[in-house]
Structure 1
Amino acid sequence: MSDSVDLENRDPNNINDHLSCKFEDVLAEPEGTHSIDCVWKLSYTCFNLWKGICYKVATLLCGICIAAELGCEFAQASLLHIWCFTPCIKYMDLNCGFLKKVWAQCVTCACEPCCQTCSLFFSAFKKS
């Protein structure tokens, strides 16, 4: 198992496909309504340039801190699940298994005689 980070495919599980935002997804001129070609080309260049610059600056300023915070959050979630939630569920399963057997015994003792009586009573009515 390799611990290196893939610098080419940074979303191998496609969890952020919904964030794919290209110039063509945001700006589009319908047939019959076109700007000057140089305006369209420069708009394309400016959009991609500023989107890239702003994202890179924002990640430079915030990315490492956010990653550290997320690491702490997921560590806390793991701690809670491993040391609290899973043992609690196992404990409840253990006790509920016992209560299930007690309940089944009570239902069997209380309901089974009535059901057997009803079945004997109704078995006397036979179709002719």
Structure 2
Amino acid sequence: MAAAELDLVNRDPNSINDHLQCKFEDVFAEPDGTHSIDCVWKLAYTCFNCWKGLCYRISTLLCGMCIAAEWGCEFAYISFFHIWFFTPCFKMLDINCGALKRLYGQCVNCCIEPCCMACGLVFHQFKK
């Protein structure tokens, strides 16, 4: 995806991290009858959101590009092995198993089928 195509608004278009929704209301809640002073509640809300956003941004600034580079390398390795190793191995197995399937079919037709036919003819003679 080119930088011109990068969506800077919707950064999770496939909703793969919906489970990480974590807002102040998901963490803190005061039931009826147990309320802190309003200014404390408002400041706690502000502090939570500020520090959550700040720590996330600092972490991504310090580590995000290196981690993204590592994952890019990992997925490049996976693609490399699938393209140059696994897919050719599976193709080779398909070819060889096809030949073995024909060989097995020939053996069954030549060796086992006549015996089964003879047994079938013996039992065919029994009538009710």
Determine if the TM-score, normalized by the shorter chain, exceeds 0.5. yes
Q: Percent identity?
A: 69
Aligned to 1:54: 55
* Residue identity in the other structure for 2:48: F
Deviation at residue 59 of structure 1 after TM alignment: 0.2
Aligned to 2:34: 33
Q: Could you report, residue by residue, the CA deviation over 1:14-66 in whole angstroms, capped at 9, with x for unpaired residues?
A: 11111111111111122222222221111111111100000000000001111
* Residue identity in the other structure for 2:44: S
User: In structure 2, what is the Cα distance between the partners aligned to 1:114 and 1:27?
Assistant: 78
How many residue pairs get aligned? The number is: 127
* Residue identity in the other structure for 1:50: W
Aligned to 1:12: 13
- Gaps (5+ residues) in structure 2? none
Q: Could you report, residue by residue, the CA deviation over 1:52-81 in whole angstroms, capped at 9, with x for unpaired residues?
A: 000000000001111111111111111111
Q: Secondary structure at the match of 2:15?
A: coil
